[in-house]
Amino acid sequence: MLLFAIAAMFPVVLRGQPKKFATLTTATFRIRYDRTFSAPEIEKLGKLLEKTYGAYRSKFGLSDHRTIEVYALSSGNRVHTESRSRAFDDAVFRDGTIYLDARAVLRSDTAVHNPAARVVSESVLDALKGCPRWLIEVY
């Protein structure tokens, strides 16, 4: 019986931290990224996420602090696969985790067109108690 339980849990344990990902932790984000990215690229992404988070956190008056999981992926197809969502191919916020095409985010030159701004604002609004889901999705 114990052997069966261990065999059943083995795939779940393997999904926890795949070997294909490395990790960078910032003040707010735990970024798991494809090893195809260079350290300067991921550091730039981390700074962009922190700057965006700070702007939305002050805008919405969020006072608590939490760590947000981020998967920085190498393509839009990987975003679809990892997030199990077909809504966007550049960035998705789902179940408290951000999945993003890191190359698309790093190429974005303005905050309006930056997919990171969209998903970071969702994560901030998601943390606000009593914020309706429709407002999170519309914002």
Q: pLDDT tens, 44-58?
A: 999 999 999 998 888
Report domain 20-138's class. Answer: alpha beta
Give the global pTM.
0.77
Q: Is the distance from CB of 56 to CB of 69 less than 8 angstroms?
A: no
Per DSSP, what are the bridge partners of residue 71? Answer: 32, 99
Q: What ranges do the domains of the chain cover?
A: 20-138
Per DSSP, what are the bridge partners of residue 70? Answer: 31, 98
What are the two backbone dihedrals, phi and then psi, of residue 83, each rounded to the nearest 5 degrees?
-85, -15
Q: pLDDT tens, 3-51?
A: 555 555 555 444 444 457 899 999 999 999 988 899 999 999 999 999 9
Cα 42 to Cα 32: distance, rounded to the nearest angstrom: 10
Using alpha carbons, select from 85, 129, 89, 125 the residue that is nearest to residue 138. 125
Helix (H, G, I), strand (E, B), or coil: what is residue 98?
Answer: strand
